[in-house]
Amino acid sequence: MTEPTVTVAYLGPAGTFTEAALLRFAVAGAFGPEEVTQLPVSSPREALDAVREGRAQFACVAIENSVDGAVTSTFDALVEGGGVQIYHELEIEIAFSIMVRPGVQLSDVKTFATHPVAHQQVRRWLAANIPDARFVPASSNAAAAEAVAEGRADAAAAPDRAAVLFGLDVLEKGVADMAGARTRFVVVGPRGVPTPRTGADQTTVVFTLPNEPGTLVGALTEFSLRGVDLSRIESRPTRRKFGTYHFYADLVGHIDDLPLAEALRALWLRAEDITYLGSWPTPGRDGREDALQADLDRLQRASDWVAAVREGKDL
């Protein structure tokens, strides 16, 4: 009897940090009890499209790193195709190994390959060690290692596992201009019921507003009035009309938290359109259970007061 499997799309080939995140998610049970079948693709957008088209049940994609901030290409792909939402996240510390074909020395390196984001994270090392090497951008760090193995580049910055997979020698490990750099990865699936509330959660929405004075201030006031914290907000062009923007907002809390749900209801009334990208646990980040419970208690007292007034009572 064939064991049931779940297909997960990710930025490949094997040996990327995204694959490392996928394996950790699998161990944590984020994809369910079934055996995981990996589907390597060439971009986060293709990974998300694989979910939309039914070629994969989930996608594992990078969403933010501590050096360059939000991975805007992932956020754009989440919104522009619709129909998907985030269910889990984790963080991975990012450091690179410098790898070459067997027998190649650092002095032999004339071309250097890695993903453009990774290139930003090893620039100082490159300037100090191979300043004259020409940068060759790759679709992923593992693809850069594959390019070295095939002779299309002399060296690459990639995870250690890529050197093993492609038969390369590692000249240096733990390379990172910013010590402790981390990247957040998320599990994305078809639109459905959010991951259950834990008390340490994040909710993300994307919205557009009428192009009129004060609309953004008014929208953000809906969160402030209800004590809902924004951990991030930024804008991206809608690509539909010049001067129009999507606003990406990360909110502290879960859609099952009444203050946050009320704020989203009020935002819906103000927005031209709004996309809910999910509510999910944020491991390693502090929740705000005490403050939230105080908010909920206050809201309940307010509801009790309104009910009493309707019944002609005095509280």
2's tokens: 């064939």
Share of the chain above pLDDT 90, in %: 73
Which pLDDT band holds residue 184 (cuts at 50, 70, 90)? very high
- Report the predicted TM-score, pTM, of the whole model to 2 decimal places: 0.84
271's tokens: 């927005």
- The 10s digit of each residue's pLDDT in 10-27 is 999 999 999 999 999 999
- The 10s digit of each residue's pLDDT in 280-293 is 999 866 555 555 56
Domains in the chain: ranges and CATH? 1-93+181-192 (3.40.190.10), 96-175 (3.40.190.10), 193-287 (3.30.70.260)
Instruction: State how far the Cα of 156 lies from the Cα of 165, in Å rounded to an integer.
Output: 14
59's tokens: 């996608």
Written as one letter, the residue type at 43 is S
Q: Are 205 and 255 in contact (CB under 8 A)?
A: no
Q: Are 142 and 19 in contact (CB under 8 A)?
A: yes
